[in-house]
Amino acid sequence: MLTTPDPANQLKKIEIEDYETLVQQVKPKPPLLKNSFWAFVVGGVICMLAQAIQNYLLSKGAGKTDAASWTSVIMIFLGALLTGIGVYNELGKIAGAGSIVPITGFSNAIVASAMEFKREGYIFGVGARIFSVAGPTLVFGFVIAVLIGAIKVFISS
Amino acid sequence: MPGTKKKGAQTVVFDNPLVLTAWASIVGPLEGGGPWGQDFDWIMEDYLFGEQTWEKGESKMLRETVKHALNKRNLEPADAELFVAGDLLNQLVSTNFAARELSIPFLGLYGACSTMAESLIVSSMLMDGGFFDRTVAAACSHHYTAERQFRFPTEQGVQKPPSSQWTATAAGAVLLESVGVGPRITAATIGRVVDMGQKDIADMGSAMAPAAVDTIKTHFKDMNLPTDYYDLVVTGDLGKIGMAIAQQLFIKDGVSPRPNYSDCGVLLFDDNQGALSGGSGCGCSACILCGPLLKKMLAGDIKKLLFIATGALMSPLSSFQGESIPGIAHAVVIEN
């Protein structure tokens, strides 16, 4: 291993740091306040809609678990529908995380991938690529579920 | 023995300047609705161009652009001796499939968004070397084929930061002949890969600006020219942010091009078109060159042009593996 720093490397490092400073000066910051506002509004409306659906189902005499499941199913359907007619991506441009985090965003990620890769056929296109964006959510969702399950087993035993 | 046509470190000067006898550009609807809409030869009504997939549409766009350029000189694809071109897609599918239909002897190039300058340089050198008399140099890009390869599915709802750019749906093709009437390519500077450690894949301008400035600086030094020699110095697709950074670097290095410096990515779209930092993609510089710029040269509004196409040589794979984004820029001198 070399112990003395290579002067050429040092110089390059300083140059890169200088450049980074320049880039940060010039690059506009994302409009945080505006983005947060729209994320709050759109995300809030999606959640309110889901809550309204759930309340309606409960008022019609559905059980608590059933109402929750049906609400998810309806929201997933709405997310898929809005993706299919090309509305959800426009919503995402404005809302950012506000439309990604709710379950409709998960639906959007899957349907968007399915639509995108349809032209490569149903096996190697849709089938193979449908979870290309949503995959990480599923994988780590499963991992967390297993961990929480394990914790519950330990606590209750 | 050093090459007799080479000047300085990276520049080549042509003994027999190559003539741009015809050119053509085809663009997508968004590009056509921009400030230069009337300067393009054809504006596509939609992004499929009558094909089943975006990739096929992109390929057709390039093919038709080449045919259109040849048509302007009443030539057929069979009359061209060499076709040098490229696009952004893996395995250059759009260009390869266009070349299949055109059936002109073909060299495919990948220079990311710098391809238009690269294809002009390769054709020019082969022609000045005496191998060919009539070649076609071209490049194309398509917004939706690039999005799906480099970023997200198109219907995915994602918010883009202000530094991101809009890959242009556009193609440009130039017919080069050793004898003829038109603007001429007199020299070119082949760029080095410059990497200043930028890693933000939503900000190509900052990654490419140092390469552009490096090539411009080298060009003026190699040619021993004053920085006010050209009527217009135009970079490929740095966008608003990359252009602002490049201007800072020009001042730092003392090579501010005068009287006019601009960027095709900034020129291509109006502010209200949602392109954020500006246009990008091989087609961006290709269509601005083969549309408004060469038109202005023909009209005599521009007499000496330095065209520098810029490319970000990354792939999603290299970014996921933590690599920074290397940039490249090639300069071509076009004079009346």
**CATH number for the domain that contains residue B35:** 3.40.47.40
In a domain, B7, yes or no: no
Q: Do A89 and B163 touch (CB under 8 A)?
A: no
CB-CB neighbors (< 8 A) of A26 in chain B = 206, 241, 244-245, 248
Domain count, chain A: 1
Q: What pLDDT score does A5 carry?
A: 65
**Do B42 and B82 reside in the same domain of the chain?**
yes
CA distance B190 to A34: 44
Inter-chain touch B148–A116, beta carbons under 8 Å: yes
Instruction: Judge: B157–A99 Cβ closer than 8 Å, yes or no.
Output: yes
Q: Note whether residue B188 is domain-resident.
A: yes
| Together in a domain, B298 and B209 | yes
Any residues with CB less than 8 A from the CB of B291 and at least 6 apart, and which? B25, B27, B36, B39, B40, B41, B172
CB contact under 8 A, B163 and A27: yes
- B9 assigned to some structural domain: no
Sole residue written with tokens 């398509």: B142
B5 within a domain of the structure (yes/no): no
Q: Is the dihedral of CA B288, B293, B296, B298 positive or negative?
A: negative
Sequence-separated (6 or more) residues with CB below 8 Å from residue A43:
A95, A97, A98, A99, A101, A102
Give the mean pLDDT of chain B.
94
pLDDT in tens, A130-149: 998 889 989 999 999 999 99
Give the domain extent around B68.
17-177
pLDDT band (50, 70, 90) for residue A3 = low
Q: Is A57 among the domain residues? A: yes
Domain count, chain B: 2
d(CA B113, CA B118): 10
Name chain A contacts of B156, Cβ cutoff 8 Å: 89, 92, 108-109, 112-113, 133
pLDDT for A6: 77
For residue B115, give the nearest of B293, B282, B284, B280 by alpha carbon: B282
* Residue range B160-166: mean pLDDT, rounded: 91
DSSP-derived 3-state class of residue B131: coil
Calpha distance A21→B231 (Å, rounded): 32
Pair B26, B168 in one domain: yes
The pLDDT confidence band at residue B2, using thresholds 50, 70 and 90, is: low
User: Taking a C-beta distance cutoff of 8 angstroms, is the pair A130, A117 a contact?
Assistant: yes
What are the two backbone dihedrals, phi and then psi, of residue B29, each rounded to the nearest 5 degrees?
-60, -40
- Contact between chains at A93 and B160 (C-beta distance less than 8 A): yes
Is the CB of A16 less than 8 angstroms away from the CB of B148? no
Q: What pLDDT score does A29 carry?
A: 87
Give kind and range of the element (H or E) at residue B309.
Answer: strand B304-312
Is B79 in the same domain as B34? yes
Instruction: Decide the pairing of beta strands B261-263 and B82-86.
Output: unpaired
Q: How far is B240 from chain A (nearest CA, A)?
A: 9
Instruction: Give residue-wise pLDDT tens across range A76-100.
Output: 999 999 999 999 999 999 999 999 9
Say yes or no to pLDDT of B302 above 60. Answer: yes
Q: From the list B155, B160, B203, which residue is nearest A115 (CB)?
A: B155
User: Domain span at residue A41?
Assistant: 32-156
Cβ distance B155 to A19 less than 8 Å, yes or no, reads no
Q: Are B159 and B93 in the same domain?
A: yes
A108 touches chain B (CB under 8 A): yes
Chain B residues with beta carbon closer than 8 angstroms to that of A14 = none
C-alpha B75, offset from chain centre = 24
Given a cut of 90, is residue A7 above it in pLDDT?
Answer: no
Q: How far is Cα B198 from Cα B126, in angstroms, rounded to an integer?
A: 35
Listed residues B151, B177, B203: the one ending a domain = B177
**Chain A residues touching residue B154 (CB < 8 angstroms):** 89, 112, 116
Angle at A114 (CA atoms; ends A50, B89), nearest 5 degrees: 135
Single out the residue of B16, B14, B11, B19 nearest to residue B184, CA to CA: B19
- pLDDT at residue B159, rounded to an integer: 87
In a domain, B10, yes or no: no
Other CB atoms closer than 10 Å to residue B58's CB: what's the count? 34
B233 sits in which H/E element = strand B232-235
The C-alpha atoms of residue B201 and residue B217 are separated, in whole angstroms, by: 26
Residue A100 lies in a domain: yes
Domain boundary among B115, B147, B177: B177
Closest CA to B178 of B5, B18, B15: B18
Backbone angles phi, psi at B144, to 5 degrees: -80, -30
The pLDDT value recorded for residue B158 is: 85
Q: Is the pLDDT of residue A108 over 70?
A: yes
Contact flag A99-B153 (C-beta cutoff 8 Å): no
**Nearest C-alpha of chain B: how many angstroms from A37?**
14
Q: How far is B203 from chain A (nearest CA, A)?
A: 9
φ, ψ (nearest 5 deg) of residue B307: -105, 115
Peptide bond into B259 cis (omega under 30): yes
- For tokens 């890169």, the residue is A16
Say whether B154 and A15 touch across the interface (CB within 8 A): no
Q: Are residues B95 and B202 in the same domain?
A: no
CB atoms within 10 A of CB A47: 16
Residue A2 pLDDT: 52
What percentage of chain B exceeds 90 in pLDDT?
90
Q: Which residues of B touch A20 (CB under 8 A)?
A: 196-198
A23 contacts chain B (CB < 8 A):
yes
Answer whether A96 sits within 8 Å of B159, measured CB to CB.
Answer: yes
* Alpha-carbon distance B161 to nearest alpha carbon in chain A (angstroms): 6
In a domain, residue B314? The reply is: yes
> Which of B159, B276, B277 is the best substitution to test chain A (most A C-beta atoms within 10 A)?
B159
Q: Is the pLDDT of residue B1 over 60?
A: no
B311 and B214 in a common domain: yes
- Say whether both B232 and B116 belong to one domain: no
- The dihedrals phi and psi of B194, each to the nearest 5 degrees, come to -120, 130
Same domain, B198 and B79: no
Residue B3 has pLDDT above 70, yes or no: no
Q: How far apart are CA B119 and CA B107, in angstroms?
A: 9
Question: A81 and chain B: CB distance < 8 Å anywhere?
Answer: no
- pLDDT grade for A12, boundaries at 50, 70 and 90: confident
In a domain, A19, yes or no: no
Judged by CB atoms closer than 8 Å, whether chains meet at B155 and A83 is answered as yes
Residue A10 has a pLDDT of 82
Beta carbons of B307 and B118 less than 8 angstroms apart: no
Cα distances (Å, whole numbers) of residue B328 to A73, A86, B2, B209, B277: 49, 36, 24, 9, 19
What does the pLDDT read at residue B155?
Answer: 84
Judge whether A27 is closer than 8 Å to chain B, CB to CB.
Answer: yes
Do B151 and B248 lie in one domain? The reply is no
Bridge partners, B187 (sequence order): B13, B333
Contact (Cβ atoms closer than 8 angstroms) between residue B24 and residue B72: yes
